[in-house]
Structure formats: C-alpha cells, structure tokens
Structure 1
Amino acid sequence: MNQETQHHLHALELDKILEMLAQETASDAAAALAKELRPTGEFADVQHLLQETWDAYSLMAKFGSPSFGGLHDVTNPLRRAESGGVLNMAELLRVAGALRCLRAVCDWRSKSAGIRTVLDDRFDRIVTNKYLEEKIYGAIDSEEEMNDNASPALAAIRRKIRAASARAREKLDAMVRSPYYQKFLQDAIVTQRDGRYVVPVKAECRGEVPGLVHDSSGSGATVFIEPMAVVEANNEVRVLQNDEKNEIDRILQELSAEAGSFASSIITGCTIAAQLDLIFAKASLGYKMKATLPQVNDRGEIDLKRARHPLIDRNKVVPTDIRLGTDFDTLVITGPNTGGKTVTLKTIGLLTLMAECGLLLPVSEESRISVFRWVLADIGDEQSIEQSLSTFSAHMTNIIRILGQADGQSLVLLDELGAGTDPVEGAALATSILEQLRRQGARIAATTHYAELKAYALDTPGVQNGSCEFDVATLRPTYRLLIGVPGRSNAFAISRRLGMAEAVVVHAQSLVSTESTRFESVVGQLEESRRALEDEREEARRDLEEARKALADAQAKQEEIRRNAQKEMERAREQASMLVSRTRGQADALLNELEELKKQKNRQLTAEQKAKLNAGLRQMENTADPVSRNRRDSGYRLPRPLRAGDTVKLVDLDKQATVLEVDKDGKHALVQAGVIKTRAAVSNLQLVTNAEKRREERRRTRTVTKQFANAPAHAELDLRGQTADEALANVDLFLDNAVRSNLTQVTIIHGKGTGVLRKAVQEHLKRHSSVKAYRLGTYGEGESGVTIAELK
C-alpha cells in the first residue's frame, strides 16, 4: 500500500479501529493480522468477508466464542526442526500449546456441526495431533524441567543421582554433627559449590579438614571444602548429571524430529486458527459496538440508518441518518463550526472502510453501504512546516492528487473545501472542483461555509444540500444530519446569545447584502417549518408506537387467556378421567365380589357381606363420575318410553343394565346390572340401541377379575354415618385394594362423635396383617377425626 493511500486511511482513523480489533484477538498472530488489515475494493471479496464475520457472530450468539488461548507462531521453530535442528523445552511447549489450541477449536466446532457456515472450509483444513501434543506435555514439565518419566533411562539416571546425593549428604551430615569437626566449621551446614557438596570451614582450620577447596567467602574467613570422604560420591553425581544431560538432549532431539515431521500440517493449522481468531475478533467487536450486517452494493449507494461513529462514546454519540449516491451523487454539508460536519464526513468514510475490511457496522438493520475502489479524503489541518506550505496550499496539494486519482468507483470526502483563501475565489474554486469530480463519476461529500455552494446545491440536479442541526438556545450541536436543508451560519444569533452588544449585531446585519439576508431568511423559515414537521412526525411515531404496544399487550393477554382456558380444560379432563377410572374400579370390585358369592353353594348373604356391599355402593355413589352426572343434564331425552327387557345404560356408573319393570308414574324403573337389582331414576337411564350393544361387546376385552386387579385405589376412606360392622367390612376391602395398588399410607375418616367408631377402627387396625402402624391425624389432617395408617 502506497503512502498516499495510507494517508487517506489515517485521515479517517481506520488505524484506531484496527487497534481496537487487535485488542479483541487472543493470539499475537491474530493481533498482527488485525493491525495489517487493509480494505479491499472488490465487491465479491467484501461480501465474503462480511459473511464470514456474520457467521462467526451468529455462532457466538448460540455457542459462545471458541478459545484461541495458547496459539503461538511456531513457524520458525518447526521449520528448524524440519531441517534437523533441536528445539529447546520452551519451543516444544509452545508447539504443544498450539496443538492443544487447534484441538480445542475443532472440539468447539464439533458442538455446532449441524449449522453450516462459510467458515467450515477453514475449520475442515485444521489437522489436530493429540499424539504429539500429549507426548510433549508428558515429557516436559516446564521450560526448564524435563519430566522423570520422559524416558525409562532418564528415570533410572535420576534415581541414581538421588541415591548418590543422599550418600554424600549422609557423610557430610555425620561430619557436621561430629563434636570433633564442629569446632573447625564456620556453620554446621552442608552446601554446594559448582554442583559438589561442601562444608564451610574456618580459614585458620583448613588444614584440620582434609579435602578439596572449592571456594572462599568474600571476607576470606571461610573456605568451602569438599572432604575426601565424599569426593567419590560427588564424582559419581557429576558423572550421572552428565548422563542426565545427554539423555535430555536425546529426548529433545527425538521430540524435535517428530515435531519436524508434522511441521507443515501444524503451521497450516496455526495459520488458519489465527485467521479464525481474527474473524471471531471482528464478531466480538461487532457485539461491543451493537453492530449489524449492512446490505452491500457496488453502485455507489450509501443509505445508513441511525449510524454512529464508532470512536465516539456510545453514550454520547447521536445516531444520524446519512444518504449519498441514491438520488444525488454529491452532498454539500454546511453549518457553523463544531456543528458535527467533520464527524459526518468521517462517519461516511470510516464505515465504508470498515465494511471493506469485513467489519460489521454500528448502524440499524437494512442499512446499505457501497464498495469503492478508492476512498479519498482531505480532512483536517494539513499545514506542512517541512514543505513550507500553508493550510490552503496543503489542502490544494491533496485535492490535486485526489483529482488525478478519482474515478467512477471513488468516494471523495472534502472538509472545508476552498477554505483558507479569499472567500470569492475560494467559493468559485470549490464549485469548480466539485463539478470536475462529478464529471469523473465520483461520489462526493464536502463541507463548506460558503453560501455560494448552498445556492449551487439548490440549483444543480444531483447535488443536495445537507446541514448539521444546531440548537441556538443552548449553543450546542445535536449532530443530526438534515439532508435537503442548507445550514445557517447562525453567526448573529450566536453572538447575541454570547452577550455581544445589540448595536454591533444590528450594524453587522446592515452590512450584509440584501440578497444574502433574504437567502438566510428563507433558510430560517425552512428550518422552522422542518422543526414543526419533525415534532409532528415524532408525535405521530410515539402514538403509533403506543398503539402497537397496546395491540401487542392485548394479543398477549388474549393468548394467555386462551392458554389458561386450555390448561383448565385439560386439568378438568384429567380429573374427570381419574374419577371415572376410580368409580369403574369400585364397581368392578363389587361385581367381582358378587360373582364370587354367586358361585358359593350357600346363596344367602351374611350380615357382614351385606354391610360390605352396602358400604361399597355408598362409597361408589360418593365418588361417582361428575362428568357422567353432567351428561345426565345435557338434554338427553329417551326416544320412547322404556319397556321391560330394554337394554339401558346407567349414566352414573357408565354400566349397561336390563329393565325389569317401569313404575306407573314413569319416573323410576327397576333394572338389573349383573346380579345387582336397583331402582334408578329414568332420567339417569339412556336407551342402548343394537348398534351400541355390538360396539360395547367388541370393546370389552377384559374380564371382571382383570379389571379389579388394575383398578386404582383410594388413599382415603370415609366411614362417617356407618355402623361398626359396615365400617370394618369396608375397611378390609379398602386396605386390600390399597395394598394391591402399592399405597404406603392411607387415611381413614371416622369423625370425632362419641369415639365408638374410632375405637373399633383402631382395634381392627391393630390386628390387621397389612398395617405397619397407625396414628391420629395432626392439625391440618383432621386431628382426632381421622386415623392415618402406614401399610407394610
């Protein structure tokens, strides 16, 4: 990239964005790639870069960001190893760290394998090598320490070193503890010099301790002597240490050779991982900027909605809408100083460059950005002391270069065009430059103070005025770009607000030409009309938003009511189904009991058996299916009067029976269901047709005994109003059913009353083989009116 292009990028502050991007990366290699990133002017390349970033953005939203920790640039060490060189422990650990990172990246991608993205080609080209990774980590503990288990030979050598060192220390420890030698020693300690064990001896007693002198203290009062008794042990340690070093070198050479054999695949994987790190850093920066994916075109059309300059504090920047290249190719922005004109220019240029680098943009959705081959900018104070050029001369030098380079695929941004010279000549020169750039086909955005350029924009098709809104009351810019409205200088209004004498301001106004005054007046009226329309539009927008919110709330409440109603219906159906099943089970149990009694030779029922049957019938009536009762009241009418021999259905029991006789009043009938004869209300009977009989016969697939075995049991039995005999018979039936249903605890309701029924029940429970324990109820359970029985 040439110096001129670099100048344009620097003027638009792309380097600051790239520095922010580098801070989002996890590896030095990716950070370097971020700082070297440059925009591309190829439409297909920009589309691909943005799609990569957007896919990474989407994957991060669902699965989090992959970890690139431990990714190092290991190209040079691996190429050296490939050529036969030996790597040190630190270099091998960096290779292992890179391999671990590659494996972690691939593992992360495997968790989201069901989602296809344009990044898959990069992920698929990464080759992991867990074997080499584990071998390096298994052999090397740190950059300076080889693991004992790196090889059997190294482990054996280190065991011998420890044994020889222990022998030498034992001899020296015995010497320093000896009363004879202690008087010759400066300190009763064992230390090392040059890797050999020595003792500190007083200088004047050096002849009393035979051995080799290895060192002396700075003062000369102490000499460090290796006693002759440990020379052999120290020599053995030194030999073993040399063997250890040779074995470590051999292991490093072996590991280096293996790393070198995989050099190309590891380097390729690390390169791709660094590229992925950069792409996910782009996505991460997009999250921090609250950015979106713009629509890209190559037609020079820019339509940015709620655009924010990314280098201005997000809490302070005011989003603005910017258009260029749609229905006009040149935008002339006017207005007072510090009004935000330059920020608008930089926003246009910087967001264009960011998109061409594959970065998401801090704009609202459905924004459009164009790809340009050249983004040319003349922004800021270009005064050059070196070249002895004035500000005007420096600006003209840059503009001359821009005129020589601009074409139909260029975006040109000019700040304070024509400033720094005579206003009349400057305005004429600025107009001529704009016309020349338009003839060359460029898209142009320029700022100026000249009223002549406002008139030029009003009179020239394809050129549009724009202004940055300024609040004269607070003397603060709002930074909103107003397209189609020329800016006012507001010099007189600002001077008044700052306290300048009214006479001075009035005299200044009188010196302005009538034509200029009239023009400013028209602009002022347009500004007032625009503000009024803006207020009305904002009020309409708020009303529409409130209406949409109210509609959404109403729809949400309606949906919630519908869901609640559906849940209640489901709950009612479940409860009704439970009651039906429970009642059917009780009826089946009674029928089974009657069938058993029928088989007995003695057809007469005992009082206990009658009581048991009566209790069962009463309990069945108490828990009858409420849905069936509702069906009785559902408007059903008999198609004809009942006759003896008709097959009917008892609605309460959902059982079929045969009519034996009908009362004279026609309101009751004697029916028989199995062996049971009962008098039922005609309103509780439904006439069964022949077709219904056949369906019922096909539906029956269970025997009475099987139905009883599957019947659900109550966890609660109500005995109130029964005699002791009836109650005890009912308790037996209740407990048998509970045991078959694997209930562990049941409740028997006997009421408080005189206590006779409670006493009889508890005496019976005491002797019952299925009862493990029983107790009276507590507060909230019914207290002394119930007994809680725990079953075995």
Structure 2
Amino acid sequence: MNQKSLSVLEYDKIKQKVLNYAVTEMGKRQAEHLTPQSDFETVERQLLETKDGVDVLRLKGGLPLPKLVLITKHLKRLEIGATLNGVELAQISQVLRATNEIHCFLAALADEKVEFHYLYELDQQLATLPKLTKRLRLCLENDGYVTDDASSLLRSLRRQITNTEATIRNRLVALTRGSQAKYLSGANVTIRNERYVIPVKAEHKGKFGGIVHDQSSSGQTYFIEPREIVELNNRLKQEQVAEKEEILRILRELSGEVAPYTAELANNAELLGEFDFINAKAKYAKEIKATQPLLSKENDIYLRQVWHPLLQMDKAVKNDIVLGKDYQAMVITGPNTGGKTITLKTLGLVQMMGQSGLFIPAFEESRIGIFKEIFADIGDEQSIEQSLSTFSSHMTNIVKILKQVDQDSLVLFDELGAGTDPQEGAALAIAILDAIGAKGAYVLATTHYPELKTYGFERAQTINASMEFNEETLRPTYRLLIGIPGQSNAFNISERLGLDEVVVAAARGLVTQDSQELNEMIADLVAKRRQAEEEAISLKKDLAEAQSLHHDLSVAYERFTNEREQLKEQAKQQANEIVAKAKQEADEIIKNLRQMQQQTSATVKENELIDAKAQLNSLEQQQTLKKNKVLRRAKRQQAFKPNDDVMVTSYGQHGVLLQKVSDHAWEVQLGILKMKIDESELEKIKVEPKKAKRAGTVLRSASQSHVSPRLDLRGKRYEEALTEVDRYIDAAILAGYPSVTIVHGKGTGALREGITKYLNSNRAVKRFNFAAPNNGGDGATVVYFR
C-alpha cells in the first residue's frame, strides 16, 4: 500500500491507537508493523484472530498478559556463552511464567468447550518448560534479586551478614545511648563507604579512635568508624564479598541451564507478542464499537451505517456506502462543508482497517473488498517551492495514479478537476473517470461540476450520489444519498436569507430550462426518498414492537415451563411422603402377619409378603436434580494443575503443586520439603509474590514498624502498666529493636520494682539497667534483648 494514501487517510493514527493497548514490547513491535494486506487468505486469518481476541475479551476480560520486555539480546548473549545478570534472567523467567499462564488459561477455556479459530493453534506452539520455569522462579524475584532459596551457601552467608550487622549496630547503639553520647552530634547510626559509622562532634573526633570516613558540609561533624568495630566491619565486608561471589556463581549456573532453550524462548516471546497484538486489536474494536467485516473476493463493498473511526460513534453521522456490485464508480456532488471529503476518507480508511485484520466501525454484516492498492487524491497540496498551484499539484498526483492503477485498485478523488476553468475542468474530470473505468478500477469521486451529474446517468457502472442539505435550517445533514445527484440550492437559500424576489426571479431567468428541470427532478427524487424513509421508519417501529412482544412471550413461556417443572417436583415429593407413610403402615401389617403365622397354623407364604412390599416400593417417584452449571463451572475452576499455589489445610501452610502422583494425590513443595498430599487436603489459592528480606538493610524505623523505641508508663496503675510492658516487649522484639527504654518514673518505687521482677523473668531480655542521668536516670530503664 502506497505511503501517500496511508498518510492522507491518517492510517498512522489507527496504528497508534492499537499500539496503546499492547502491554508487551513484542506486541508493540507487531502493532508498529501493522499495514494493510492484499492477500485474501492473510486478511481472512488476521480478522479471525481478532475475532478470537474479541471473544476472549467478552468472556474473560482478555488474555492475561503482563508487561514483558524484549529478550532477543539476552538470548543472543547466551548463545555465545555469556553470563546474564539477575535482571536479564528475571525477564526470561517472566516470559516463561507468562507462557505457562497463557497455556493454563487457554486449557481452561478448552475444558469449557469454548471454540476459537486460531488461539488453540498458537497455544500448541508454546514450549512451557516447567522445570526451568520452576528453577528460575525459585531463585529469582521479578526485579532480579537472587533469593535465599537459590543455594544453602547463600542462605548461610546472608545469615552471617545479618548477625554481623546486628552486632555492629548493637555496639554502635550502646555508644550513642551510653555515657559517651555527649560526644556525638546525634544518635543516628549511618553508613559511609559501605562501613558503619557514628557522627562525632569535630572537637571530640579523637575520642573514639578508629577511622574518619567523611565530614559534614559545615565541618562540625565527622563520621567515624570507632576502633572497636573496625574488625567487625572488616568481617562484614568479607562476608559481603563472599555473598557476591556466590550470587555470581548462581547466575552463571542459571545462565547455563537456560542456554539450551534459546530457540524455544525466542519462539515463546514471538508468540506472546502475537497474543498481545490480538488482545490489543480486540480492545481497540471494543473502544470504537467495531464489528467483524465480511470479505468479498469480487470487491463487492457494502458498509452498513459506517462512520469515520476517528469520530465518536454516538456523535458521528452514519451512512451506507455501496460500491462494486451494480456499479464501480460513484460521483458525489453537493455544496462545500457537506461531508463529501469525510465520506471519501471513511471509505478509504475503513477499507484499510479491514485489510489490516482490524474490525471496522460499521454495523454487522458489512462487507469489504481486497484491493492491492488504494489511491487517494485528497486535499490541497500546492507548493511554493515547486511552483505548483492547486490544479498542478492535483494533476501531478493524478498522473502518477493513472500509471499504476489496475482492476484491483480503489481510487478516491476529492474535487476532481478543480482549480481551473470550470468547462475545461469538467471535461478533464470526465476523461479521467473514463480512463480509470477502462482499466476496471473502482472509484469514488467528489465534484462541484453539474456536467458530472449527467455523466453519472449516462455511463454504465456509474451512479450519482449527493450529500443531503436541509433547506429549512440551511445546514448540511452529512447524510449520503446514493442515486440522487446534488441539487443546487442557491436560489432557495437566497430567498430564505432575504434577497429581493425580483433579483431571484431575474437569476432564475438566466438559468437554462434544462437546468431548472434537472433541479426539479432532483427535488422530486429527494421528496420520494424521504417518503420511503418515513415508511421504513414506521415499519421498523412495528418490527421492533413485534420483536419485543415475541421476547416477552418467550420469557413468559420459559417462566411457565420452569414453574411447571417445579410443581412436578413438588408433587413427586408429596407423593414420596405419602408412599413412605404407606410403606411404614404396610411394614407394620406384614410384621403382624408374620407373628400370626408363627403363633397359628395359618399359611401366609413369605414370597407373597415380599412381592407385596415390592409393589409398594415401586410407587415411589424418583426426584431428578437439574444439572447445576454454576457448580460444574466452579468445579472446573478448582481443578488443580502443576505450578498452582495451594493451601495445605492439614498443615496450615502454603505450597506449590509439582506433579500428580495418583488419581487423588499430588506432590507438593512446602518450603524445602516435598510431600505427597491428598486432594481433599488442598485448596487452590492465589498468592501475590512477596519481596524477600534483603541482607544489608538497616534496622527498620519506628514509622515502618509502628512501635516506638520508648514506652512511657507515668501516671498508669500498677496492673495496667505491667500488662502494657508485657505487650510492648513482644512488639519490640518483633520489630527487631536491639534495645528499648521504659519510662516508669521514680515515685514510691513500686512500679520500678514490679518492672524489674518482670524483666528478670523474661527469657528474651539479655540485660537491663537504669538510663543515663541526662536521659531519665533511675526513672527510666534501658532493656537489651538477646
């Protein structure tokens, strides 16, 4: 398709709207390469793929695709033996997980007997690679962070790092809150050059010894690593280096495991992009309320109530456009600003959309053709630099079109022959239309020339059309009238605007009789068309009422049927109750008969008794439960599949399904354990991925933990205070505080003694002592945890 027509008809705006709905980089690339196709089978397949996407969007809200990046460069690096970093491997892991999610999603739809044209075919080409998916998911988070589960050595190193950091912080906190706190600029422990330091006043910088790492901008504070934690910081640094080496080893190992599957991963990424592109086309179709067009190999175009895709459906005027079956050329006449140009653009752009596999903004059962080229000469392209007038620019474009046009072309001319002498322009317009008609091309042209109205009547395969104009309001209605040439309204408009009748009459006298008769004929055609439309509206109203009545009757019949079934079930239940009562009475009678038989010489045969009871049992009516579609659907949704997150009810633990080991049992991963669990003990859940706690993080602040490092008990009763201390100690330990301060005041000393007894009995308390004199003295107790 030639770029000039794509530009003139604003095709790029349609591409951009589709692209905005794509969520993956692969899908965006496919949207960027969207272009009209001229092969019938290709267009048909693309439209059916869009139909699949629309069905999924209607049934399930769309395909479940996350944001994915291109992994092409990652795979090429793997092919040459490179080691990927955590982020790159995580991006590959996301592609694998998205592959598995799409596969499971479509498998569920297949279980529900939902039919698609091509989605299942695309799904079969996906390689799920469950072992590799599980391995990457276990070792990496979405941001590339290597988890503790990646190796036992990494978990051990991080535990050591955490312990070393805790020791360092405890010692530094002791300095900031002890007797030496007066030499500090603040009580904050911070990090400089990846080593823990404390802020020391400039005049006391030699008090703690150690190493100076930084200085404040004012020069009043030095950030010093005290002598007593230098060795601890060195040990921490060594442990962190060991951690980085282990992470690098893990990444190297993971890269080696992924490398053999580069071809499958590349194919998966491409297919996910195609799924995303189908999803984007479906969402755009929903946005503009578009429908699936039918395809005509004979280029028989029929657009029912079509509107321009860049206009809102509820505000745009809709028209029927027909071309190709009874006529291959349409000449539209009418006044300026009447909607002729927008009609040309609508036909061209909608035809391009359909040939791109997109749904079109028209009512259902609309039909498009398949053209190899769509040419458009629309707009004024005069150029000062090239010394081209309006007429010259149009003729330059028309010359190029005439050289390329054939029977598989659609040509759109706006104001054909304009910009020159009216008589010569009309003659040129007729000659150009004849030349294009001789080549068998399809053409839609707008013009002001009255000569072309006659052309539309005289030439075979050609029809006139016009844009309707309301003489009463003196405004265009933007409605296309096929078969009716444009009517000159100059005299009527002039009269309504107040022009003197003498002047109007003189003007009418200057117009030839043929022109007046033509205008009268057109006016008569317009009047008859309006009459036919009014009748059609009336018939449509009657049809709508009949359809509504039919619908009401159908609903009433269905309600009657349901009530009848319910009454039958109730009757059966009542009958069963009656029979049950009769059986009970019969059993009693039979029992009495048997007793009589034993006590007397009367002969009552056993088989006769059994037959009598069987006849009573046969009277019972069997109740039938209707098939419950809701329960069946819920059961399908609860079906287990590998990699599902589940809750093991017997242990109260979350786990991941690995494989089915028997008809009713699964192998489940519970942390580092693998266990065989019966299905009755499993419940399917949806778990959001959690961020693992990073080693090397500083102690959480009070605002993060919502627990203050200081508890004030002053003014509280003895029992209330001790209860609050017990709760507070537990909360502080959970928050990760190494120490806290409990303010109890001096008073009589009873509360202080009670708190001291409690702390002595609490195993989580390492030691405790009164606060520094400048921090409350014996009116406050500092508690240190193990």
Q: Same fold (TM over 0.5)?
A: yes
How far residue 373 of structure 1 moved from its aligned partner, in angstroms, is: 0.4
Pick closer, same or farther for the CA change 1:214–1:142 going to 2, 3 Å: farther
Pick closer, same or farther for the CA change 1:552–1:139 going to 2, 3 Å: closer
Deviation string for 1:756-780 (max 9, x for gaps)? xxxxxxxxxxxxxxxxxxxxxxxxx
Of 34, 37, 47, which residue of structure 2 is paired with 1:37?
Answer: 34
| Aligned partner of residue 224 in structure 1, secondary structure | strand
Instruction: Provide the residue aligned with 1:19 in structure 2.
Output: 16
Instruction: Provide the residue aligned with 2:537 in structure 1.
Output: 538
Deviation string for 1:598-623 (max 9, x for gaps)? 654599xxxxxxxxxxxxxxxxxxxx
Q: Give aligned pairs, total.
A: 617
Q: Which is worse superposed, 280-289 or 575-584?
A: 575-584
Q: Check the 8 A contact 2:25/2:69 in 1, yes or no.
A: yes
Pick closer, same or farther for the CA change 1:175–1:303 going to 2, 3 Å: closer
Instruction: Provide the residue aligned with 1:329 in structure 2.
Output: 328
Pick closer, same or farther for the CA change 1:600–1:143 going to 2, 3 Å: closer
Instruction: Provide the residue aligned with 1:128 in structure 2.
Output: 128
Q: Check the 8 A contact 2:52/2:116 in 1, yes or no.
A: no
How far residue 432 of structure 1 moved from its aligned partner, in angstroms, is: 0.8
Deviation string for 1:284-310 (max 9, x for gaps)? 322333333322122221122222222
- 2:83 corresponds to which letter in structure 1? V
Instruction: Provide the residue aligned with 2:317 in structure 1.
Output: 318
Q: Matches of 1:23 and 1:148 in 2, distance apart?
A: 38
Match status 1:269 vs 2:268 = yes
Instruction: Provide the residue aligned with 1:729 in structure 2.
Output: none
Of 65, 69, 85, which residue of structure 1 is paired with 2:82?
Answer: 85
| Aligned partner of residue 33 in structure 1, secondary structure | helix
Match status 1:422 vs 2:421 = yes
Instruction: Provide the residue aligned with 1:197 in structure 2.
Output: 196
Structure 1 residues 103-142: aligned runs within 5 Å: 103-113=100-110, 114=113, 115=115, 117-141=117-141
Instruction: Provide the residue aligned with 2:159 in structure 1.
Output: 159
Q: Matches of 1:536 and 1:708 in 2, distance apart?
A: 69
Q: Matches of 2:375 and 2:192 in 1, distance apart?
A: 70
How far residue 104 of structure 1 moved from its aligned partner, in angstroms, is: 1.0
- 1:38 corresponds to which letter in structure 2? T
Pick closer, same or farther for the CA change 1:217–1:598 going to 2, 3 Å: closer
- 1:75 corresponds to which letter in structure 2? T
Pick closer, same or farther for the CA change 1:461–1:172 going to 2, 3 Å: closer
Deviation string for 1:452-477 (max 9, x for gaps)? 00011111111101112222223343
How far residue 366 of structure 1 moved from its aligned partner, in angstroms, is: 2.9
How far residue 15 of structure 1 moved from its aligned partner, in angstroms, is: 1.4
Instruction: Provide the residue aligned with 1:70 in structure 2.
Output: 67
- 1:487 corresponds to which letter in structure 2? G
Pick closer, same or farther for the CA change 1:68–1:551 going to 2, 3 Å: closer
- 1:14 corresponds to which letter in structure 2? Y
Deviation string for 1:596-654 (max 9, x for gaps)? 35654599xxxxxxxxxxxxxxxxxxxxxxxxxxxxxxxxxxxxxxxxxxxxxxxxxxx
Instruction: Provide the residue aligned with 2:730 in structure 1.
Output: none
How far residue 711 of structure 1 moved from its aligned partner, in angstroms, is: 10
| Aligned partner of residue 263 in structure 1, secondary structure | helix
Instruction: Provide the residue aligned with 1:186 in structure 2.
Output: 185
How far residue 371 of structure 1 moved from its aligned partner, in angstroms, is: 0.2
Q: Check the 8 A contact 1:100/1:130 in 2, yes or no.
A: no
Q: Check the 8 A contact 1:53/1:282 in 2, yes or no.
A: yes
Deviation string for 1:718-750 (max 9, x for gaps)? xxxxxxxxxxxxxxxxxxxxxxxxxxxxxxxxx
Q: Structure 2: 5+ residue runs without aligned partners? A: 621-786
How far residue 449 of structure 1 moved from its aligned partner, in angstroms, is: 1.3
Structure 1 residues 381-460: aligned runs within 5 Å: 381-460=380-459
Pick closer, same or farther for the CA change 1:158–1:596 going to 2, 3 Å: closer
Q: Check the 8 A contact 2:26/2:272 in 1, yes or no.
A: no
How far residue 422 of structure 1 moved from its aligned partner, in angstroms, is: 1.5
Q: Matches of 1:385 and 1:322 in 2, distance apart?
A: 37
| Aligned partner of residue 146 in structure 1, secondary structure | coil
Q: Check the 8 A contact 1:82/1:257 in 2, yes or no.
A: no
Deviation string for 1:342-401 (max 9, x for gaps)? 222122111211111011223333322110000111112323344232222222121111
Q: Matches of 2:590 and 2:431 in 1, distance apart?
A: 110
Question: Could you state the TM-score of these two structures normalised by the residue count of structure 1?
Answer: 0.72
How far residue 166 of structure 1 moved from its aligned partner, in angstroms, is: 3.5
Q: Matches of 1:146 and 1:25 in 2, distance apart?
A: 30
Q: Matches of 2:362 and 2:549 in 1, distance apart?
A: 28
Over aligned residues, Cα RMSD in angstroms? 3.2
Q: Check the 8 A contact 1:66/1:105 in 2, yes or no.
A: yes
Q: Matches of 1:709 and 1:458 in 2, distance apart?
A: 87
| Aligned partner of residue 112 in structure 1, secondary structure | helix
Pick closer, same or farther for the CA change 1:186–1:53 going to 2, 3 Å: closer
Q: Highest CA radius of gyration, 1 or 2? A: 1
Q: Which is worse superposed, 34-43 or 384-393?
A: 384-393
Q: Structure 1: 5+ residue runs without aligned partners? A: 604-673, 676-696, 713-792
Pick closer, same or farther for the CA change 1:700–1:269 going to 2, 3 Å: farther
- 1:528 corresponds to which letter in structure 2? A
Q: Matches of 2:237 and 2:82 in 1, distance apart?
A: 27
Instruction: Provide the residue aligned with 1:307 in structure 2.
Output: 306
- 2:151 corresponds to which letter in structure 1? S
Pick closer, same or farther for the CA change 1:540–1:223 going to 2, 3 Å: closer
Match status 1:101 vs 2:90 = no
Instruction: Provide the residue aligned with 1:488 in structure 2.
Output: 487
- 1:57 corresponds to which letter in structure 2? V
How far residue 418 of structure 1 moved from its aligned partner, in angstroms, is: 1.3
Identity among equivalent positions (%) equals 41
Q: Which is worse superposed, 361-370 or 589-598?
A: 589-598
How far residue 261 of structure 1 moved from its aligned partner, in angstroms, is: 2.8
Q: Matches of 2:556 and 2:156 in 1, distance apart?
A: 78
| Aligned partner of residue 408 in structure 1, secondary structure | coil
Pick closer, same or farther for the CA change 1:449–1:700 going to 2, 3 Å: farther
